[in-house]
Amino acid sequence: MNDLFPKRENEISFPTDYSSIMERLNRINPVQYGKTRNFIDGAVTYLSPYISRGVISTKQVQEAVLAKGHHPAAIEKFLQELAWREYFQHVWQAKSDELFKDLKQPQPDVLHFKMLAAINNTTTGIAAIDRLINQFYETGYLHNHVRMYIASIACNMGKAHWYAPAQWMYYHLLDGDLASNTCSWQWVAGAFSSKKYYCSQENINRYTHSFQQNTFLDLPTESLSSSTIPSILKPTIDLHLTTHLPNLAKLNIDISKPTLIYNSYNLDPMWRCNDDANRVLLLEPSHFQKFPVGEKVIDFILALSKNIPEIKIIVSEVFELLELYKNSEFTDKALISKEHPAFVHYPGIKDKRDWMYPEVKGYFNSFYSFWKKCERHR
């Protein structure tokens, strides 16, 4: 099976230096992306970890492809995929912590709230899926279609509630975006959509270039919804996910200057790059206790932060950072950050993010109602 799924290490790797990231940005082929994006070897961009971590923005990607002369209508699929990210962020802004509950209606046919052992242990019997999950553990990357396949197997064939397997996936993703990950799992499971999404063996074979037959997914799509739970998907496990943050000495900063706060969702080296300020990568234990990530993810975040000149890493809560300024001339302007739903509790100044469509705000009941508004501003 290894010959069917080449690793393509030159592409399924994620350099962390800014020049390599910009080079990858400049290599985007949005036309080919629209034609081949569903295939695991399609012309995907491999930019998602840099967008999710705030090194580059969706607007920056949009501007890069339009600068090459592409008409928006000719690359609509590509622009829509970028816009999905913004849509999910708006959902999180509107729903706050309600994002982590069933959004539109209770997920149908839930039998348990645990993780499926077969997915965790790569023993589903679907060769392409098991192979790609093993690759996921190695690289921190999953093709978007494969994420949907896994969610469909977990929630719709295995009858698991979406929350635990979504946590498992987020834990390992270099491009972990809580809004995109959570909403996508709910969309597949029928909690944030009008119906569940079912993947078939035929669909998996087509887009992963595999040829497997006689599996529990080797049925017509219309028959999958009424099939019984395969025995291989019945065993479950409890997840115990823990983040190991760096063990650092107490940080001292220059309180005669304001402090720019970077975090796991804002690692943009160009943000306020000319400001005379402290630059701090803030890793709050409370955040990672609530939303744990694995060692590879933390290492990736730390490596990306090296693009920011004179960055200092601090493992503490934001109020402890603010406390350093209690005897300074600064009051509510000591800390500066970028707006993000994960960090609404930050005090101080919050800069606006670089939205593709800043004119389109608020909650929309579906992506396509959101997209119709965006089209007016293309």
Q: What is the pLDDT along the chain (378 residues), one digit of tens a residue?
A: 333 333 443 358 999 999 999 999 999 999 999 999 999 999 999 999 999 999 999 999 999 999 999 999 999 999 999 999 999 999 999 999 999 999 999 999 999 999 999 999 999 999 999 999 999 999 999 999 999 999 999 999 999 999 999 999 999 999 999 999 999 999 999 999 999 999 999 999 999 999 999 999 999 988 999 999 999 999 999 999 999 999 886 778 999 999 999 999 999 999 999 999 999 999 999 999 999 999 999 999 999 999 999 999 999 999 999 999 988 887 778 999 999 999 999 999 999 999 999 999 999 999 999 999 999 887
Please tell me the total count of domains within the chain.
3
Tokens of 32: 């080919």
Domain end (from 172, 205, 237):
237
Q: CATH number of the domain at 139, please.
A: 1.10.579.10
* Claim to verify: residue 180 and residue 208 sit in the same structural domain: yes
* Claim to verify: residue 14 and residue 91 sit in the same structural domain: yes
Please name every residue paired with 259 in a beta bridge, in sequence order, or none if there are none: 278, 335
* Claim to verify: residue 229 and residue 313 sit in the same structural domain: no
* Claim to verify: residue 71 and residue 123 sit in the same structural domain: no
In a domain, 352, yes or no: no
In a domain, 246, yes or no: no
Q: Output the DSSP codes for 113-173.
A: SSEEHHHHTT-SS-HHHHHHHHHHHHHS---HHHHHHHHIIIIIIS-B-SHHHHHHHHHH-
In a domain, 306, yes or no: yes
In a domain, 63, yes or no: yes
Domain that holds residue 183: 115-237
Say what the pTM is: 0.95
Helices 201-208 and 127-139 cross at an angle (nearest 10°) of 50
In a domain, 33, yes or no: yes
In a domain, 293, yes or no: yes
